[in-house]
Structure formats: C-alpha cells, structure tokens
Structure 1
C-alpha cells in the first residue's frame, strides 16, 4: 500500500464511521468528525479549554468552539468557569451517561460496512470486520504521538 492509498483508505474509513453513527434526534448534523475529535480530546484532558483543544488537535479554534457548543447541548461535555480566570471555561466529560452518548457508544459498524461492500459473502464481511478490529487495536489515537512532528 502506498501513502496515497493509505490516505484514501483513511478518508473512506472516516466516511464509514460517519455513516455508522446514529443520527441525532434534533439539532444540527454534519461535522461529526470534528465533534468526535473534540469530544475525545476533552475526555482525555479534563479541565481543558477550547484553546488547548485546538492546539492539541490542530483544529481551528472556531471549529472547536462549534463542536463544544454541540457537545454541551447534548450533555456530553460540561463547561465551568475557571476559578483563576473567569473569562475561560474549563471543559470536562459529563459523568452522567446521556441517552445520546449511550446510543453512540452502543452503535455498531456492521451495517455500514456491509452497505459499503455491496454484494458480499458473510465471510467477506467477517474478514473486513476482523481487519478493522485489528487496526483499531494497533493504531489507536495515541499512536499519532509517535509520528514525526
């Protein structure tokens, strides 16, 4: 596989992930990738700020702010004033499992992968799902930190 093929595979996998996400019952749609990236960063860095999330993720601050607003709206993220600087909001995971978080956490990918494969055998689907499981175990978000700057 070439670097170009890997990039195109990554794009395909992101689209499949978006397809597998349950649609929100209300509110805006689109931008799921950004929301997932921001949510994951906030969950990994409790007490963080929008500026810090933007710096760590490489996303524009405006995109992070929009994602945080959506995450606050559905109850996945809580923002509290920073005691040291009342202008800043400190972000953290909502400890309560909201219905939306539960729905997303229990969603599967089988249907999206099967649809993307088109006509396929059960063995083909099982092979692709197993390969994705292996990739997911070996190439976690933390592995990005080992890449060159």
Structure 2
C-alpha cells in the first residue's frame, strides 16, 4: 500500500463513519459532520482553547469553527466560558457530562453503514470487518496524529 492508497482508504472510512452517525432530529445544519468531529476532537485534545486556535490547528476557516462550536455547545458536547485574560474571547472545553446526543452517537453501531458500503447483508462479513477496524483503531488512535507533521 502506498500513501495515495492509504489516503483513499481513509476517505472511504470517513464517509462510512459519517453515514453511521445518526442524524435524525439533528435538523438541517450549515456544518458538516466531518467538520464537527474535527473541531470536537481538537477541543477535547486542547482544553480551554479558542476558536482562533482551533482554526489554526485544524486548518478550518474560523467561521466554520465558530459554527461548529455553536452547534457542539447546543448539543452539550462542549462548554464555553469568557476568557479572563481577554473578555472578548471564549474558552472552549469538553463537557465532562455525557449528553444524550453524545450517548446516542457512541451507542450507534456501524454495521448498517458498513453493510451498505460492502454491499452485503452477510452478518459474518460485517462482523469480521468491524473486528479488523477495531484492531486497526487500537493501533491508530487519534493520539498518533500528534506524531505526524
């Protein structure tokens, strides 16, 4: 496997992941699921951060980060507080309480989205693929991103 093949596999996995995240009741939003997850993971890894700092680290436009933070705050995934050093800014951090939406997303299995991507209803093939993905995820957690350029 080369870098391009790995990149394409990553895009495929991201799309399957997006399909697996429940959207019922979430309403129509201006932010993509992908952007939401990128911002959420960055905030979780960098507590008491600002929108501008998240934008720099993620490469997302500041307006997109602001929209994601507003949506994450509305869902209860993050908390914001006025920055005591600069009252014009807000500090963002992970909400330590697991909200209903976070619990719903965490409890939703990927089987249906994976079955659709594999074009199969074979439970054994889906379970084997889930097992492979779980083993890969153990080795390549989001923590490894810090070791890359």
Q: How does 1:60-75 map to 2 (within 5 A)?
A: 60-75=61-76
SS in structure 2 of the partner of residue 88 of structure 1? strand
RMSD: 1.6
TM norm structure 1:
0.90
SS in structure 1 of the partner of residue 93 of structure 2? strand
- Equivalent residue, structure 2, for 1:38: 39
TM norm structure 2:
0.90
**Aligned-pair CA distance for 1:38:** 0.7
**Aligned-pair CA distance for 1:122:** 3.2
Cα distance in 2 for residues equivalent to 1:92 and 1:48: 7
Confirm or deny that 1:112 pairs with 2:113.
Answer: yes
- Equivalent residue, structure 2, for 1:13: 13
**Aligned-pair CA distance for 1:11:** 0.9
SS in structure 2 of the partner of residue 47 of structure 1? coil
Cα distance in 2 for residues equivalent to 1:97 and 1:119: 33
- Number of residue pairs the alignment of both structures matches: 148
Could you tell me which runs of 5 or more consecutive residues in structure 1 were left unpaired when the two chains were aligned: none
Q: How does 1:1-149 map to 2 (within 5 A)?
A: 1-29=1-29, 31-119=32-120, 121-147=122-148, 149=149
**Aligned-pair CA distance for 1:24:** 4.4
Could you tell me which runs of 5 or more consecutive residues in structure 2 were left unpaired when the two chains were aligned: none
**Aligned-pair CA distance for 1:140:** 1.3
